[in-house]
Chain A
Amino acid sequence: DIQMTQSPSVLSASVGDRVTLNCKASQNINKYLNWYQQKLGEAPKLLIYNTNNLQTGIPSRFSGSGSGTDYTLTISSLQPEDVATYFCFQHNSWPDTFGAGTKLELK
């Protein structure tokens, strides 16, 4: 199975900061990497699919990049409503697997 490792596990940042979240796969996942945002008490929401495609309705301050085993989610200017846990997800090969998540907090 492909293991997905997210870092950091907790990130504290200020409003307006540029924030970078990382996700590393245990093997090449050919850019089949999605990012989800989960706010407290809510279902996860798709932000980015296949590394760098912004889901409809998601603000443009969110962007994704990466290739091979290393992927990044960037928030260009952190907003208060971005406080959430972010999960990466690989769907290159079965079984699909999630990272453990990065909890994003306001400083």
Chain B
Amino acid sequence: VQLVESGGGLVQPGKSLKLSCSASGFTFSSYGMHWIRQAPGKGLDWVAYISSSSGTVYADAVKGRFTISRDNAKNTLYLQLNSLKSEDTAIYYCARGTTGAYWGQGTLVTVSS
């Protein structure tokens, strides 16, 4: 099982960014997937979940600004980040399944002017 996040970087407040999580080593379409973030030096913060049938759930802090989606043909999970704020600065991890048994290494998003 391998999960590789990409798409992070430095972005100004109010701008947008799209993160990707490329999955391999398992049947991607059969699993729900999480996005979880970690601000520098802080704890873990659950962001969003998408089920295998593409039902979605969001944390209140990102609802209406972030969108989780998946492309099963490409074995890829996405997170669209809009209206970014400085408090969204974090490492963003994707994780597999309701138990979060496997995690990627994360991609750093820095929101700063």
Contact = CB atoms under 8 A, between A and B. Distances in A.
Contact of A95 (B43, B44, B59): B59
Contact of A46 (B43, B44, B101): B101
Contacts, number: 51
Contacts of B93: 43-44
B106 A36 contact: no
A87 B43 contact: yes
Interface residues of B, number: 20
Given A46-B102, A49-B101, A98-B44, 18 more contacts: A34-B99, A43-B103, A43-B104, A43-B105, A44-B103, A46-B99, A50-B99, A55-B101, A89-B44, A94-B57, A95-B57, A95-B59, A96-B34, A96-B46, A98-B43, A98-B46, A100-B43, A101-B43
